[in-house]
Amino acid sequence: MKTHFELNGSLTELSSYPIWAQDMVADCAQVKQSVLDHELFAMMREAKLDLQSTSNFMLGIWPVIERFPGYMALSLLKTQFGRSAGDNLARRWLVRNIRVEQNHAEHWLSWAEGAGVAREKVLHGRPPHQAATLSNWCEEVCKSDSLAAGVAATNYAIEGVTGEWSQFVYDSETYRNSFPAEARTSSLRWLQLHAAYDDTHPWEALEIVCTLMGTAPAAYEVAHLGECIKRSYMSMRLLADRCVMPSRVVQVAIAEAA
């Protein structure tokens, strides 16, 4: 039986959340770390990502960037004001943040241009093979699953891990200095915003999920949420693989030919 949850401690402390949520986050941690440890972000941080892989990255994630307000709108459609504390919290938060995500699309295009990938290529080019796995999953879970599952998979999982790899890359002076000084600020605006140390979006999403689910949801409901979160991480890891793999294959072929 679900019982009411209301956040009393610090928003950004996992101990403020129900035990089931703490256990779920811990269970997903290894899969999340596999995204953060991916060579794509390490190479980017050291400004060693070649132009082809950079192009794959910009094109591959663009559908998620462009559609993210749409995913949140799909979640918003599931809310009903006054039905529950979770619905009210989700509704207010989604309405407030959908417009913010629209601005992020423009910042992404500026980052791509600064990194040497033309805006038109991002908008109309062909992304790497299987890169759509992540965007398709986000669309599916926000359209067809529960409100809690959609928020957990996108606003908690995707925004959360993206904030961490963004911080990892943006903290690199080597990477920041790889952009011309006159265009550095505008080019890196997307990365800077997502690398913010005080970004509370994923924590706010977790609060929404816990408010919707209560302090004692059924074990199968928690397991399902965990699987949705893991699938988001695995889809992002697959996308990262597809960004660097074509370039790696070419490099191996060149080395073997030599």
> pLDDT higher for 216 or 256?
216
- The C-alpha atoms of residue 205 and residue 145 are separated, in whole angstroms, by 16
pTM: 0.92
> 9 in a domain, yes or no?
no
> 152 lies in which domain range?
21-257
Q: Is the pLDDT of residue 255 over 60?
A: no
pLDDT at 198: 59
> 117 in a domain, yes or no?
yes
Query: Helices 219-257 and 19-36, interaxial angle, to 10°?
Result: 10
> 1 in a domain, yes or no?
no
> 8 in a domain, yes or no?
no
Q: How confident is the model at residue 127 (pLDDT cuts 50, 70, 90)?
A: confident
pLDDT at 246: 53
User: Which tokens go with 234?
Assistant: 């695995």
CB 53 within 8 Å of CB 247: yes
Handedness of CA 110, 196, 68, 245 (dihedral sign): positive
> 127 in a domain, yes or no?
yes
Q: Is the pLDDT of residue 256 over 50?
A: no
pLDDT, averaged across the chain: 92
> 7 in a domain, yes or no?
no
CB 84 within 8 Å of CB 30: no
> How many domains, in total, are found in the chain?
1
> 16 in a domain, yes or no?
no
The CATH number of residue 232's host domain is: 1.20.910.10
Q: What is the pLDDT of residues 13-34, one digit of tens each?
A: 999 999 999 999 999 999 999 9
Q: What is the pLDDT of residues 170-208, one digit of tens each?
A: 999 999 999 999 999 999 999 999 987 558 999 999 999
- The C-alpha atoms of residue 199 and residue 186 are separated, in whole angstroms, by 19
Phi, psi (degrees; rounded to nearest 5) at 186: -70, -35
pLDDT at 148: 98
Task: Please count the other Cβ atoms lying within 10 Å of the Cβ belonging to residue 138.
Answer: 25
Q: Is the pLDDT of residue 92 over 80?
A: yes
For range 9-13, the mean pLDDT = 95
Ranges of beta strands (E only) in the chain are none
> 2 in a domain, yes or no?
no
pLDDT at 250: 38
